[in-house]
Chain A
Amino acid sequence: MNRLKIFLLCICVIAAACSPKVKLKKIEHNIFGLTSSEPAGVDSAAIKMISPYKTAIDSEMNEIIGTSAVVMTKGEPEGLLGNFVADLTLFIARRQYRPDDSINIDFCFLNNGGLRRDLPQGKINKGIIFELMPFENTLVILTLSGQNTYDLIRRIAAMGGMPVAGIRFGIKDKNPVSITLDSKPFDLNRNYKIVTSDYLAEGGENFSFLKNPVRYETIGIKLRDAIIEYILMQTGKGNELNPTLDGRIYYEK
């Protein structure tokens, strides 16, 4: 129960120059760190106001859907949380996707900014997944030219890594090296199919070069629903969630 209090004191002397204008003459400040163990207290009016909303939310969101063996946090060039969500997204999307050219999805990429909280070790309820993925983003399949795919990978490398699945590469001087997909080297002369969120596909986080893909397909599933479905599936199999770091993106020395 630590309450951190930092005091900053400053003196601003405002002197009237050409009256009635006021002028800031001098600022002086000091910083103090103080701690206290006293909690803030309880506001009964707030409890009363929250109550009906909370009851409705809790009845839906307190449902335990799975258990995680580890704490999952974001990381660069890879992180447990990013690996977990990207892997399950690729898995669910591949399962859901019915390609008319019988070519399935090559890899998945998502953004760390879209993962809005860590996952705790232990029981995971539905509410936690809503906080992890509060947005109503849906999954889309983009077919990109080899060059466009390379531009995307280069951008991921330049950003120091993003959540990916189905692809592996090193980062050297902010550029991707030794890119492999399903153990095969990257081929600039073919198209690739990627699964991502509609947010990124429509230029979010300034991925504007994704706006003109060879093909844009939807599979009618929200990213959040994919996460919930995957966790329920693992729970059904008696599995705890246990993602690992596998060096899918690494710094080349």
Chain B
Amino acid sequence: MKNRNRRDFLKYLIGTSAYLSLGSVPFELIAKKGFHKLTILYTNDVHSHIDPFPDNDPKFPSMGGVVSRAALIRRIRNEEKNVLLFDAGDIFQGTPYFNRFGGVPELKLMSMMGYDAATIGNHDFDNGIDGIVKVMPNMNFPFICSNYDFSSTAMAGKTVPYRIFEKEGIRIGVFGLGIELEGLVPKNCFGKTFFLDPVQKAAEMAFFLKKEMKCPLVICLSHLGYFYKSNKISDHALARQSKNIDLIIGGHTHTFLDSPPAYRNKENKEIFVCQVGWAGLKLGRIDAFLEGNLAETRMESTIETIRKKTSEI
């Protein structure tokens, strides 16, 4: 009941304005010294969808496209000081851009849009390990993979197991989880990449980032998939078994989570799972509000649908 009343109140407060995200934050919080706002933007499973869907597409007419996504990201960067931009894998494969250019334009465009990091999805292996290595010089952001052991492959030393970002002195710890490749990706494509238990790796990474590196916000970029009927590990299952993770930015199952569901983790603390479908149709946005002494954090989520402007090419 209390929730409902609060929701109604905030709905009126926000009205129909798109960018009154601060409107939902109590003024006393904003006024406090040392208040920080972090804006986390994310995509997943873009699958080489550089162009918007055609106007006659049965499901997604005129939707998606890098030109619109880049414009939206640029606008948000103009409005917000502390922006982080992530992708949860399967950047490649899905349009002729990948068949003809092997991922070069995808990575160049992501670099231009200022992606901070991405994890690797199963389809990113579609041209083999050598196929990834070949196009990596076109990217200026890291691939974060915590549970793929690439040490016996040409990818050795070319990915990082985690990355700590710092915005206004606030540390944001990010690690990445990939899906089991056996039975999903042809063996000759992943070669001697070894898959390590994602639950165990997540526990190690999250403990390290949260407890040892003192990151108040720990984000997992996951390509495990949102949910399975079987007992295959998913973000849904991981969230409940985890500790020390605040946010899972997921992919693989192309799930449109228009409001990130909240889970209780192993310590009965809340953790959110995000995923914005596929093909760059949407851009996810999480605004995290932190106080200087880190005593209080608020998070707010927005999902933007990417549409081309009628005048666009």
Contacts and interface: CB of A to CB of B under 8 A. Distances in A.
Nearest to B13: A32
Contacts of A199: 186
B309 A42 contact: yes
Interface of A: 1-16, 20-22, 24, 27-32, 34-36, 38-43, 45-47, 49-50, 53-54, 56-57, 60-61, 71, 73, 116, 118, 120-122, 127, 130-131, 134-136, 199, 202-206, 208
Given A40-B68, A40-B307, A42-B71, A6 B259 contact: yes
A39 B68 contact: yes
B300 A130 contact: no
Interface in B228-243: none
A134 B90 CA distance: 13
Contacts of A131: 94-96
Contacts of B310: 39
B242 to A, nearest CB: 12
Given A5-B304, A40-B72, A53 B105 contact: yes
Nearest to A26: B270
A134 B246 contact: no
A42 B301 contact: no
A6 B258 contact: yes
Nearest to B185: A204
B74 interface: yes
B70 interface: yes
Interface stretch (B33-41, B52-60, B143-151, B161-169): B52-60
B216 A22 contact: yes
B270 A46 contact: no
Nearest to A35: B16
A5 B58 contact: no
29 contacts: A3-B18, A5-B304, A6-B259, A7-B10, A7-B21, A13-B295, A14-B216, A22-B294, A24-B297, A27-B269, A30-B10, A32-B7, A36-B18, A38-B18, A39-B307, A40-B75, A40-B308, A42-B68, A43-B67, A43-B68, A43-B70, A46-B71, A47-B67, A50-B51, A50-B109, A54-B51, A57-B96, A118-B59, A131-B95
